[in-house]
Amino acid sequence: MYEVQQLRINYKTLEEFKQFKQYGLQELSMLEELNAQISENEIHSPFYGIYIGNRLVARMSLYRQSKKHDHYFKPHQPYLEVWKLEVLQEFQSKGLGTRLIEYAKSFNLPIKTNPRVHSNQFWTKMGFVPAAYDLERDLGENPMLWCPEGVSTSK
C-alpha cells in the first residue's frame, strides 16, 4: 500500500515539483503556489504526495474550506477541496491517484473538486457526482462532489 505524506513547504519540495511540470499541463503546475508559501515559519502544508523510493511520483493540494463558503452540501459544514491531483506518467494506472483520494476521504468531510478535462471517469469511479450547475456559484467550473454518510449535495 502506498503511503500518503504531507509534503513540507521547502526548497526540496519545490525541486521535486519541477518534474511534474514536464508531464502535466501548465495549469497543473504547483510551482508558483508552493514558491509563494515557502517561509521559515510555515508549519501547515496543503500539499500531499506519495513517494516511491526517494522520488515524489504523485501529489495533490488539499484545502479545508470553512462552513461559510459551503454552497454545495447539506447540512452546510466545512469541506475539503482537492486541487491539482497529478501522477507522473510512468506511474499512472497503479492506484496512486486512488490512494490520494482515499486519504482525502479519511477526514470524513465532504469533498469538492474541479476535474480536469477527460478525468470525469476517474472521479466517478471514486464516488464523486457532478454538482447541479449554478452559474453564479460555479463561474464556468464543473465541480464534482463526494459526500460522507449523513451528508447530501445541495440542489
- Pick the closest to residue 98 from 109, 87, 83 (CA basis): 87
Residue 122 has pLDDT above 90, yes or no: yes
Structural domain harbouring 144: 4-153
CATH number at residue 30: 3.40.630.30
- Pick the closest to residue 57 from 102, 133, 4 (CA basis): 4
What pLDDT score was predicted for residue 58?
A: 94
Number of domains comprising the chain: 1
- Residue 64's CB is within 10 A of a number of other CB atoms, namely 12
pLDDT tier at 147 (50, 70, 90 boundaries)?
A: very high
Preceding omega of 75 cis (within 30 degrees of 0): yes
Cα 57 to Cα 109: distance, rounded to the nearest angstrom: 26
- Kindly report, residue by residue over 48-93, the tens digit of the pLDDT: 999 999 999 999 989 999 999 899 999 999 999 998 899 998 999 9
| Grid cell locating 146 | 463526494
